[in-house]
């Protein structure tokens, strides 16, 4: 009985530790006409590539969130999201920190400077880790 109880407590503690350090990058996207959709998808892929190439250990997760999906309505409202809104969310020890990275993404779209975007974006994420 003691071993079972100890194992249950250990599982809960371990689960709390692993989820407490998670950072999510939420990329909000709309259903757009063909030419706009290609540009939006390209931008989404650039953001996703930065996350996946710099945080391979799973500490940072990229998620695409469709604005039109009714299941995402709460997230859209919570972050007041529009198309190409990018939010970095950190959940540490029951404390949530949120960074709106949308301006960084708009700058990337305007300047097409991937190196500057990657530097600024990873700095913002690293502050939350």
Q: What's the pLDDT tens digit per position in 15-43?
A: 444 444 589 999 999 876 665 677 888 89
Which domain range does residue 30 map to? Answer: 24-128
Residue labelled with tokens 């931008």: 43
Looking only at Cα atoms, what is the longest distance across the chain? 63
pLDDT at 16: 45
Residue 2 lies in a domain: no
Alpha-carbon gap, residue 14 to 2, rounded angstroms:
18
Residue 19 covered by a domain: no
In a domain, 58, yes or no: yes
CATH number at residue 77: 3.40.30.10
Bigger pLDDT: 6 vs 81: 81
Decide if 33 is inside a domain. Answer: yes
Domains of the chain: total: 1
Asked, for residue 3, whether it belongs to a domain, the answer is no
């Amino acid at each position: 009985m003691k071993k079972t109880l100890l194992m249950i407590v250990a599982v809960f503690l371990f689960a709390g530790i692993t989820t407490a350090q998670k950072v999510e990058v939420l990329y909000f996207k709309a259903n757009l006409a063909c030419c706009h959709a290609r540009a939006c998808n390209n931008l989404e892929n650039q953001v996703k590539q930065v996350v996946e190439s710099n945080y391979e250990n799973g500490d940072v997760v990229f998620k695409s969130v469709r604005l039109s999906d009714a299941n995402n309505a709460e997230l859209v409202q919570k972050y007041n999201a529009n198309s190409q809104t990018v939010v970095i969310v950190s959940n540490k020890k029951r404390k949530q920190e949120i960074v709106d990275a949308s301006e960084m993404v708009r700058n990337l779209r305007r300047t097409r400077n991937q190196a500057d975007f990657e530097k600024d974006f990873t700095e913002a994420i690293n502050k939350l880790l």
